[in-house]
Structure 1
Amino acid sequence: MILISLIIALVGLIGNATVLWLLGFQISRNAFSVYILNLAGADFVFTCFQIGYCFYIILEVPTEFPSFAIVVLNFVYLCGLNILSAISIERCLSVKWPIWYRCQRPRHTSAVICTLLWVLSLVLSLVEGKECGFLADISSPRWCKTFDLITTAWLIVLFVVLLGSSLASVITIFCGFHKIPVTRLYVTIVFTVLVFLFFGLPYGIFWFLLVWIGKLYYVSHCGFHPVAIFLSCVNSCANPIIYFLVGSTRRHRFQRKTLKILLQRAMQDTPDEEECGDTGSSGRSTELKKV
């Protein structure tokens, strides 16, 4: 399972690096693509350290795995969950109050929120790592459990917010008074949230809950730990695949597209009918110009 996790993590590393390159240097960013860029950055760092951990186990390195790597893994994991919750909340706001969202929302909200979430995740991880002995030789078991309970409570809050905002968006779109079209961006967010719930959540359950339950530690470490690593690698690898698959689906005809165009289409917040209509009108105008 660790070998399979390594292969999946390598694929995820390439996929997230591609998303980082395209969103960072090739595509103009909007409110949601800023979140996707930061989520890809968190997944990229996560897969890098998971690859190192997989090599550490496969090669049977006699020395202990660096403790600071665990702090980094928990840091980017928390950050990814924070950003995913922010994406879900933003989408819920854009669906429930579209006029306010388009006209009154501050321009740099996404960048400010992502910065705050990175800082919050870093502070939680550093404090917990210091008190639990990951960053220092001296540990404080009482404060370690206290901060771990705080982190666990924050994870539960994020999980509830993630589910609540996602359900609110679904109810508003399908059961609201006004019919709201389902866009590619909505499909991208829904699949990203579902993948995290099935594949990303077990890692958080292991590190922030099972590790600190003494009776379950040895059983969970031997049986659940490799599964949690495998599922977390699948979660980090799946996001770029979701973006490109959602961007590649086309209702009318198949066309070969570059990765840049596929990613742009996955971030598209307009219905496919409008896109087809725009394409058709541009095509007719081109023909008139030729005539």
Structure 2
Amino acid sequence: MAESPVAEQRESVLDTTVQQSANSSLDPLAEAHPKFALIDGIEILSLIIALVGLVGNSIVLRLLGFRARRRSPFSVYILNLAGSDSIYLGSFFGLRMWRIVGDLNHLLEVLWLCLLGLSYCVGLSLLAAISTERCLSVLFPIWYRCHRPKHTSVTVCAILWALQGLYWGVIVGLYFLNKDHFYDFYFVLCFVRLGWFLLLTCVLGVSSLTLVLRVQCSSQRRRPPRLYFLVLLTVLVFLLCGLPLGVIYAVWFFRGFPIMPNRIFRLLACVNSSANPFIYFFLGSQWCRRGREPLRVVLQRALEEEQVGGNGGRDTSHPNTLDMLS
């Protein structure tokens, strides 16, 4: 029996999405030399940035995951964010290189793309959680220090990974195990992802704006903690470089075709996932000091949770990340 027009349309949309996600250009050079057309300036730059970002995030993972004795609540988020960025960059680099050097099986390509989607959504979720918790810490400092559950960071990270793993696992399972009914759920799953994306973007924007206003007000009386600037810079980089990829896919879903070449947005997404380690080490560096400091010390200083108190502008009774990570 022939497929219904609706099923044919859904399958066409999914196949077009997968093919457009994997290919980067449709110019005459690509048609004449499909292998070499993939290796253009933007692709080369994206691959270089992905490699650099992998090195930077690997350093963060090593310092926070294997060199730390105890972890502060904020460092747990940073550890998971570095993990999601590493998965995204590694998946992107592997997918692009595989398509350049050889033929990539369609089913395996779907797995690669789902892994990219998983890491991207986890990164967005973690940023929303980080900015929300920082916002709560400045709006309700007494509650945050005295009544915040001890394992909130670990629990939140585990829930975010589990939710995204379940969502993308359902997609992979339906696609491989029951492909005939996959297209019946495809649009529903896309709407769920779009709703999650819009919700987290709104949460990220509101909490970040609140944090900006708080930093601006506190800067008139004292210097804001370095951690506030770290969160704001990380969110700003995501809004400029990471968010456009989600927006372009949302527009793509409703319009059926991209409004701009998506390789540009993949480049920006690689910049977003690669920039965070440099933000940490930049803010943790003390340029007035002579000599070279170990990266561990620089990262510890960047993630230090400073609290404003009556002891010279800093509350030393709050657990110090320097002590936790040393």
Q: TM-score, length-normalised on structure 1?
A: 0.84
For 1:122-271, list aligned pairs within 5 A. Answer: 122-131=165-174, 133=175, 137-175=179-217, 179=221, 181-207=223-249, 209-213=250-254, 215-217=255-257, 219-220=258-259, 223-250=260-287, 252-270=288-306
SS in 2 for 1:26: coil
Q: Does structure 1 residue 86 correspond to structure 2 residue 155? A: no
Letter aligned with residue 245 of structure 1? F
CA distance in 1, matches of 2:117, 2:291: 41
Higher mean alpha-carbon deviation, 159-168 vs 264-273, is at: 264-273
* RMSD after superposition: 2.7
TM-fit CA distance, 1:271: 7.5
Question: Quick one: percent identity of the two aligned structures?
Answer: 39
Q: Is residue 215–residue 228 contact of structure 2 (8 Å, CA) maintained in 1?
A: no
Q: TM-score, length-normalised on structure 2?
A: 0.75
CA distance in 2, matches of 1:108, 1:63: 42
Q: Does structure 1 residue 112 correspond to structure 2 residue 148? A: no
Letter aligned with residue 75 of structure 1? L
CA distance in 1, matches of 2:204, 2:103: 39
Q: Among residues 102, 122, 138, which one is paired with 1:95 in the alignment?
A: 138
Higher mean alpha-carbon deviation, 21-30 vs 155-164, is at: 21-30
**Residue segments in structure 2 that go unaligned for 5+ positions in a row:** 1-41, 317-326
Paired residue for 1:17?
Answer: 58
Q: Is residue 43–residue 80 contact of structure 1 (8 Å, CA) maintained in 2?
A: yes
CA distance in 2, matches of 1:101, 1:176: 18
Q: Is residue 11–residue 237 contact of structure 1 (8 Å, CA) maintained in 2?
A: yes
**Residue segments in structure 1 that go unaligned for 5+ positions in a row:** 279-291
TM-fit CA distance, 1:189: 0.6
Inter-CA distance 263–53: structure 2 relative to 1 (3 Å threshold): same
Q: Is residue 226–residue 283 contact of structure 2 (8 Å, CA) maintained in 1?
A: yes
CA distance in 1, matches of 2:61, 2:181: 37
Aligned length: 270
TM-fit CA distance, 1:205: 2.2
TM-fit CA distance, 1:242: 0.6
Q: Is residue 200–residue 235 contact of structure 1 (8 Å, CA) maintained in 2?
A: yes
CA distance in 1, matches of 2:222, 2:171: 44
Inter-CA distance 265–176: structure 2 relative to 1 (3 Å threshold): closer
Cα deviation, 1:123-144, whole Å, max 9, x if unaligned, reads 222234445x377543533421
Letter aligned with residue 188 of structure 1? L
Q: Is residue 20–residue 40 contact of structure 1 (8 Å, CA) maintained in 2?
A: yes
TM-fit CA distance, 1:225: 1.7
Q: Is residue 35–residue 110 contact of structure 1 (8 Å, CA) maintained in 2?
A: yes
Q: Is residue 2–residue 58 contact of structure 1 (8 Å, CA) maintained in 2?
A: no
Q: Among residues 45, 50, 53, which one is paired with 2:92 in the alignment?
A: 50
Q: Among residues 71, 75, 89, which one is paired with 1:29 in the alignment?
A: 71
